[in-house]
Amino acid sequence: MKRNFKYIMLGLVVLASSSCKKFLDINTNPNALTKATPELILPQAIVGSAAISNTYNSVFGDLSGARANAGGFGGFGQVVTYDFGTGDFSPNLWPNSYDNANDFEYVINNTSSDPKLAYSTAIARIMKSLNFERLVNQFNDVPYTEALKGSGKLQPKYDKAEDVYKACIEELSKAIADITAAQASTATNTVAASADPMFGGVMDNWKKFANTVKLRMLIKMAGVPAQQAYATAQFAAINTTIGFLTTDAVVNPGYQKTERPSPVYNSFGFTTTGVVTQDSRLPSKFQYAFYDGKKLSDANRGKVIYRSFPSTPLNQLGDESAGVPRALAAGSSFTTLLKDDLSALGVVKGPTQSTPVLLATESYFLQAEAYARGYLTGNAATAFDNGIIQSFTYLYKTIANTVDATKNPTADATAYKNTNTLSPLVNFTLAGTLDQKIEAIITQKYIALNMIANDERFNEFRRTGYPSIVNGSTDPILTFASRQSVSPRPDRLPTRVLYPQEEYNLNPTNAPAGINKFTSRIFWDLN
For 458, the 3-state DSSP assignment is: helix
Write the CA distances from 511 to 94, 203, 286, 450, 514, integer angstroms.
Answer: 13, 38, 36, 33, 10
What pLDDT shows up at residue 326? 95
Asked if 54 and 268 count as a contact pair (C-beta separation under 8 A), the reply is no
Q: Which residues of 109-139 are buried (b: 16+ CB within 10 A; e: fewer)?
A: ebbbeeeebbbbbbbbbbbbbbbbbbbbbbb
Sign, CA dihedral 215-221-223-229, equals: negative
- Rounded Cα distance between 161 and 175, Å, is 21
Closest to 90 measured CA to CA, from 150, 26, 135, 25: 135
Q: Is residue 13 part of a domain?
A: no
- Rounded Cα distance between 310 and 390, Å, is 23
Q: Is residue 8 part of a domain?
A: no
What pLDDT shows up at residue 35? 53
For 423, the 3-state DSSP assignment is: coil
Domains in the chain: how many in total? 1
The domain in which residue 447 lies consists of 19-258+350-506
- Rounded Cα distance between 206 and 411, Å, is 30
Q: Is residue 315 part of a domain?
A: no
Write the CA distances from 514 to 289, 293, 507, integer angstroms.
Answer: 38, 44, 15
Q: Is residue 332 part of a domain?
A: no
Task: List, as one string, the DSSP characters of 318-375.
Answer: T---TTPPPPPTTS-TT----TT----SSS---TTPPEEEE-HHHHHHHHHHHHHTTS
Q: Is residue 3 part of a domain?
A: no
CA atoms within 13 A on the CB side of 501: 7
- Rounded Cα distance between 268 and 278, Å, is 6
Number of other CB atoms surrounding residue 77 within 10 Å: 11
Asked if 300 and 417 count as a contact pair (C-beta separation under 8 A), the reply is no
Q: Is residue 518 part of a domain?
A: no
Kindly give the pairing relationship between strand 67-69 and strand 355-358. unpaired
What pLDDT shows up at residue 19? 41
For 178, the 3-state DSSP assignment is: helix
Q: Is residue 358 part of a domain?
A: yes
Contacts of residue 467, defined as CB under 8 A and 6 or more positions apart, other chains included, come to: 439, 442, 443, 446, 461
Q: Is residue 12 part of a domain?
A: no
Residue ranges of alpha helices (H) inside 82-117 are: 93-111
DSSP 306: S
Closest to 238 measured CA to CA, from 183, 176, 291: 176
pLDDT tens per residue across all 527 residues of the chain: 544 433 333 333 223 333 444 444 444 454 444 457 888 999 999 999 999 999 999 999 999 999 999 998 888 899 999 999 998 876 789 999 999 999 999 999 999 999 999 999 999 999 999 999 999 999 999 999 999 998 778 899 999 999 999 999 999 999 999 999 999 998 888 899 989 999 999 999 999 999 999 999 999 999 999 999 999 999 999 999 999 999 999 999 999 988 899 999 999 999 888 899 888 999 999 999 999 999 999 999 999 999 999 999 999 999 999 999 999 999 999 999 998 899 999 999 999 999 999 999 999 999 999 999 999 999 999 999 999 999 999 999 999 999 999 999 999 999 999 999 999 999 999 999 999 999 999 999 999 999 999 999 999 999 999 999 999 999 999 999 999 999 999 999 999 999 999 999 999 999 999 999 999 999 999 97
* CATH number for position 487: 1.25.40.390
Q: What are phi and psi of 32, to 5 degrees?
A: -95, 0
What pLDDT shows up at residue 10? 30
Q: Ramachandran region of residue 140, left (φ > 0), alpha (ψ -120 to 50) or beta?
A: left
- Rounded Cα distance between 456 and 462, Å, is 10
- Rounded Cα distance between 287 and 221, Å, is 28
Contacts of residue 247, defined as CB under 8 A and 6 or more positions apart, other chains included, come to: 205, 360
What pLDDT shows up at residue 314? 98
- Rounded Cα distance between 262 and 254, Å, is 9
User: What's the pTM value of the predicted model, to 2 decimals?
Assistant: 0.93
